[in-house]
């Protein structure tokens, strides 16, 4: 009940601000849980160790979070630690970007994923549960189509710094073409007001293909057909940063909510 009330308050806040210009300060912290620990869940493995295994890509192809770890994962992603972990990744990305002598020909790009990288779906997961149930495509699409996902604050800071350094921004997402317009609106409302390209998935072309294949092919087009140089590449899934044409350096944001191959 307490979580539901907090979700309502956040949704009300977002709805109130939604029509404003870029720069909205969407809030995530008000959804914070009050329970859940990193205690043992199976064969003596702790939930915190499970999360480390996920982030290190040692635990792969998992479909759901262990049920015993839902409270732990929810508490992590809605709390300070998730923000701190995101801050470390984005800070290192900035330090790297700052070290690059940007050639002023407009061809140096930085690739960003969208879900759980630039935009956060935490309000959705706080309402529907933290990944112990199978993925519900219909419910998630309904959430995306609202266009009210808040920005991940630390990633947004990196985005702004990269623009100031002279990098062009490319968003490469697994969202389908049918969601392009609402994604554009959501990005702008959340403070991502400028980019070079927004690449969405042609579902008919990539039917049955993995995310690694899709994103590799699209990055290859950027570099080999359009002449861009991918200096940096950041995402929450390993499939965002594996494959070909990954860029000069990749950065993996934390995400123990789901796994995309």
Mean pLDDT across 112-128: 96
Number of other residues whose CB lies within 10 A of the CB of residue 42: 12
Mean pLDDT across 182-203: 98
Mean pLDDT across 69-85: 93
- The secondary structure of residue 87, as a DSSP letter, is H
Are the C-beta atoms of residues 200 and 173 closer than 8 Å to each other?
A: yes
State residue 44's pLDDT score: 76
Q: Which residues constitute the domain of residue 169?
A: 2-252
Task: Compute the mean pLDDT over every residue in the chain, rounded to the nearest whole number.
Answer: 88
Q: Which 3-state string (H, E, C) describes 185-209?
A: HHHHHCCCCCCCEEEEECCCCCCCC
State residue 15's pLDDT score: 37
Are the C-beta atoms of residues 123 and 151 closer than 8 Å to each other?
A: no
Whether the pLDDT of residue 173 is over 70: the answer is yes
In a domain, 261, yes or no: no
Mean pLDDT across 207-218: 97
What is the Cα–Cα distance from 112 to 115, expressed in whole angstroms?
A: 10
- The partner residues of 169 in beta bridges, in order of sequence, read 110
- Higher pLDDT: 150 or 23? It is 150
Pairing of the two strands 40-42 and 45-46: antiparallel
State residue 40's pLDDT score: 72
Closest CA to 173 of 137, 128, 219, 225: 219
Mean pLDDT across 203-216: 97
In a domain, 214, yes or no: yes
Closest CA to 259 of 51, 32, 42: 51
State residue 31's pLDDT score: 52
- Find where tokens 């790297």 sit: 96
Whether the pLDDT of residue 206 is over 90: the answer is yes
State residue 190's pLDDT score: 97
- Find where tokens 């210009």 sit: 21
Extended beta strands in the chain, E state = 40-42, 45-46, 108-112, 168-176, 197-201, 229-235, 249-252
Counting every residue written for the chain, the total comes to: 261
pLDDT-derived band at 16 (thresholds 50, 70, 90) equals very low
Whether the pLDDT of residue 5 is over 80: the answer is no
What is the Cα–Cα distance from 16 to 95, expressed in whole angstroms?
A: 36
State residue 102's pLDDT score: 85
What is the Cα–Cα distance from 35 to 8, expressed in whole angstroms?
A: 19
Please tell me the least confidently modeled range out of 5-14, 48-57, 105-114: 5-14
Total count of domains within the chain: 1
In a domain, 258, yes or no: no
State residue 20's pLDDT score: 33
Extended beta strands in 108-236, E state = 108-112, 168-176, 197-201, 229-235
In a domain, 259, yes or no: no
pLDDT in tens, 35-65: 556 677 766 789 999 999 999 999 999 999 9
In a domain, 260, yes or no: no
Mean pLDDT across 172-188: 98
In a domain, 161, yes or no: yes
Task: Tell me the CATH number at 170.
Answer: 3.40.50.1000
- The partner residues of 40 in beta bridges, in order of sequence, read 46
In a domain, 257, yes or no: no
pLDDT in tens, 144-164: 999 999 999 999 999 999 999
């Amino acid at each position: 009940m307490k979580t539901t009330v907090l979700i309502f308050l956040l949704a009300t806040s977002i709805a109130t601000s939604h029509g404003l210009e870029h720069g909205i300060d969407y809030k995530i912290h008000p959804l914070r849980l009050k329970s859940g620990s990193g205690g043992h869940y199976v064969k003596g493995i702790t939930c915190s160790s499970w999360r480390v295994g996920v982030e290190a890509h040692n635990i792969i192809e998992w479909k759901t979070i262990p049920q015993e770890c839902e409270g732990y994962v929810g508490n992590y992603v809605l709390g300070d630690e998730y923000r701190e972990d995101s801050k470390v990744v984005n800070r290192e990305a900035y330090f790297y970007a700052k070290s690059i002598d940007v050639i002023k020909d407009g061809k140096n790009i930085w690739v960003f994923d969208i879900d759980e990288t630039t935009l956060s779906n935490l309000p959705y997961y706080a309402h529907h549960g933290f990944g112990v149930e199978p993925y519900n495509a219909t419910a998630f699409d309904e959430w995306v189509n609202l266009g009210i996902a808040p920005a991940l604050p630390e990633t947004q800071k990196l985005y702004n710094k990269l623009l100031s350094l002279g990098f062009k921004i490319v968003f490469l997402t697994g969202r389908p073409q049918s969601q392009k317009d609402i994604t554009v609106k959501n990005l702008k409302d959340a403070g991502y007001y400028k980019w070079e390209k927004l690449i969405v998935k042609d579902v008919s072309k990539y039917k049955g293909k993995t995310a690694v294949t899709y994103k590799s092919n699209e990055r290859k087009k950027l570099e080999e057909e359009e002449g861009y140089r991918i200096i940096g590449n950041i995402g929450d899934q390993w499939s965002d940063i594996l494959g070909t044409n990954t860029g000069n350096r990749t950065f993996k944001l934390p995400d123990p909510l789901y796994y995309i191959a």
